[in-house]
Amino acid sequence: MKIVKFGGKSLAFDGAFHQVVDIIKNKAAKEQLTVVVSAIGNTTDVLENILETAKNSAEYIPLFQKFKQEPQHQTTDLNEEFQLLQKILEGVNLLGDYSLKIKDNVLAQGEIISAKVLTHRLKEENINANFTDSRTIIVTDANFGNAQPIEALSKAKTQQHFSQFNNNVTHIVTGFIGATNNNETTTLGRNGSNYSASLLASYLNAEELQNYTHVDGIFTANPEWVKNAKKIDALHFNEANELANFGASILHAKTIIPLLEQNIPLRILNTFKPNDAGTLISAVPTQEGIKSLSVLSEVALINFEGRGLLGKVGVDARVFNALSEKNISVSVISQGSSERGLGFIVDKNKATQAVIALEQEFENDFYTKDVNRISVNDDIAVISIIGQDLSSFHKPYNALIQNNIVPILFNNTVTGKNVSIVVKKSETKRALNVIHGQIFGVNKKVNIAIVGFGTVGSVLINQIVNSKKQIAKRKNIDLNIFAIANSTSVYFNADGFGEEWKVVATQQNPNGLTSIINFAKDNHLENLILIDNTAATSLPNRYIEFIENGFDVVSSNKIANTLSFDFYKNIRQTLAKNQKEYLYETNVGAGLPLIDTIKLLHLSGENITKIKGVFSGTLSYLFNHFSVEDRPFSEVLKETISKGFTEPDPREDLSGQDVGRKLLILARELELENEFDEIKIQNLIPEAFQSLSVPEFLNQLEGLDAYYQEIKQNLKPNEVLRYIGELSGDLQQNKGVLETKLIAVSANSSLGQLSGSDSIFEIYTESYGNNPIVIQGAGAGAQVTARGVFGDILRLAEKK
């Protein structure tokens, strides 16, 4: 015989009820079958709500009428059940109260109705079905609401009942309920229908218990919360028992024990996929390692603090005895040592009762001030990692910290193979995804918000979209662009933008930058990176806000690193406090590895004495061509503009301000405390042109020709013009000398041999003397800059 159990979602009339009938019909034709059922759909919740309403007002009547008129209740005669319910509800309404005994009787009707409806439907299909009220076979104590079966009596009654029938009878048995020796209806507690099925399997020595649910089996995490959760093919009884104890929703904590004692396998199946193998739970050993993550959410943390109890014997016993007397169980315990403190988890609905019990037990200790506080935190959840030992626990723990999730406490079981972590309830889903991605080897999801999709930003988005599949395959990293923003709109897609982003971004969607933070929180997104491709000051001024909300930052925007030195320090302190990173390799040299090289030299103790170079790819192109070609300055400048090397207002490049910012960034990498206004910057625009509007300036470019032709004519033979930035002085002091200027250099020098829009940087150090480290390459262009930003993103992603 096989025991087959169907849950409420499977039996819902608007769900898979017809599928349940087909499954039973197919199985009954081949083997002996006993079916255990829960109440249909959400019947239990509906009945509980009607009962509670009846206690307070007559408004329960229309609720009860609606319940009776449900489609599933029209298929067979349920007058007996409805008359009993009406009688009970009238009495409750009259008294204004009800007992647990009454509640059990009301809730039991849900299972009875379910079994009768299914039995009637099966008979219509010519299946020899027999309705069995489990109150006639399962004998329990009188602990209403959470009754315990009396095994010997229940087993005897069950075996005697089933012995009366032929093997071709399919029994439809009510789950969840039993009765006392006095025939008083009881219920077996939360998810008790699974327990009922397990007991029947044990009493009847079944071949297998098959539990049909709305999911494919047991997963490495709740698949509704973790999209890449994997189905587990097989579990040992002990592993399943741990999952049940720590909150797995499709396993009852007491389900496993009767099966384990009789070595009866349990198979978790999906009603909607009857041909799938599901998850098999048996006595067969499985490979060691982490099996699954489970969550307890309806719990509370009790904090017990008593400085005066340190070193006193028997305090723990008093705590747990007081709780035991009130039938309050504890699931996770953490003990402090610097002062006498205990933290432990109880069911949320028993938290107040637990505090009262402890306050009574330690009343005298409060008076002597040996106990100073007993508090409750019910805004928490417990995540348990089944199969986790402490030797590798640092990996998920560090991942949580990197995502700004700080566990309130954690606990390791006696076996050393399960770790439970208490977190804020609002962080549960994100924490679950972070841990799951860290320990199960699935692709790590990195969620990216890109602000600014102009020239560089749009190229970057396309690079990410086009490389996404390859990176997922090679690096096991899923790059998920969940937000795209500009100065007026923010666009969201929790599942990530693809090639359609261009169409989406043409529509107006007014929103502020705060909406990015809120969206990430609301959707429990982990591994967050903010990308700043703007040139404005508004976003850099809000970096700290993003960092404090769990974002790392990657920026091609130079502003943040060139604001006041106090702001510069504040960002670094905030990064350190929140264990976040801020990468900006493209701030100087576009995609060249300049900043990393300088950081490494400085970190290693190398004394950098001077940095000099052509910092601007725009100005490099301009003077590389103007110096050697017989063309007016304005003509070369127009060509530079047409190639997209300049800002919309070319004076932003020609002012030298951009080179000055880049120079200051390098100075601050050497821990120099210079401010931007201390840089000596040569503006390449004559004063008369500085106040013109952009159109006026662009129409008068020829007015620059005479000025620059004179400079060019003053060059000596074999000399060329270069606009350079130079950091010099005693760089071991707090400040250096920063200067940007147009100079003449030998065409044979490293600066003079520069071509195209390349940048070049000469780094002079004590060790290298007069032979500088030279870094040269493309210093301008959207593709190069975007690729550099992309590189920073990947560096961060691999660390997460």
The catalytic residue among 580, 662, 680, 800 is 662
CA 252 to chain centre: 27
* Residue 196: C-alpha distances to residues 11, 39, 211, 286, 329 (Å): 17, 13, 12, 27, 22
Q: Which of 319, 293, 411, 421 is nearest to 371 (CA)?
A: 319
Do residues 535 and 514 make contact, with C-beta atoms less than 8 angstroms apart? Answer: no
Spatial neighbors of 497 by CB under 8 A, at least 6 apart, are 461, 465, 481, 482, 484, 491, 504
pLDDT averaged over consecutive 10-residue blocks of the chain (800 residues)? 93 86 94 95 95 92 95 92 96 95 97 96 95 97 95 96 94 97 93 91 96 90 88 88 72 81 93 91 84 90 82 82 91 65 89 93 88 91 86 85 88 76 93 88 87 93 95 92 94 94 90 94 93 93 96 95 96 95 92 91 94 95 96 96 88 94 96 96 95 95 96 96 96 95 96 93 92 88 88 91
Q: Which of 408, 10, 507 is nearest to 210 (CA)?
A: 10
Instruction: Tell me which residue has tokens 């002996």.
Output: 32
pLDDT at 441: 67
326: left (phi over 0), alpha (psi -120 to 50) or beta: alpha
Q: Tell me, what amino acid is at 162?
A: F
The per-residue DSSP string of 687-755 comes to: HHHHTS-HHHHHHTGGGGHHHHHHHHHTPPTTEEEEEEEEEES-TTSS--EEEEEEEEEETTSTTTT--
Do residues 268 and 250 make contact, with C-beta atoms less than 8 angstroms apart? Answer: yes
3-state secondary structure of 44: helix
Integer Cα distance of 458 and 460 in angstroms: 5
Q: For the packed helices 79-95 and 100-124, what is the interaxial angle rounded to 10 degrees?
A: 160
Integer Cα distance of 96 and 58 in angstroms: 10
DSSP assignment letter at 349: G
Question: End-to-end CA distance of the chain, in Å?
Answer: 51
Pairing label, strands 582-583, 551-555: parallel
Integer Cα distance of 246 and 428 in angstroms: 15
Integer Cα distance of 538 and 557 in angstroms: 11
662 is annotated as an active-site residue: yes
Q: Tell me, what amino acid is at 14?
A: D
pLDDT at 616: 93
Provide the CB-side half-sphere exposure for 133 (13 A, CA): 12
Do residues 7 and 212 make contact, with C-beta atoms less than 8 angstroms apart? Answer: yes
Spatial neighbors of 215 by CB under 8 A, at least 6 apart, are 223, 250, 268, 270
Integer Cα distance of 760 and 623 in angstroms: 14
Integer Cα distance of 176 and 173 in angstroms: 10
Strand partners, 383: 295, 421
Q: Which of 428, 441, 522 is nearest to 220 (CA)?
A: 441
Do residues 230 and 69 make contact, with C-beta atoms less than 8 angstroms apart? Answer: no
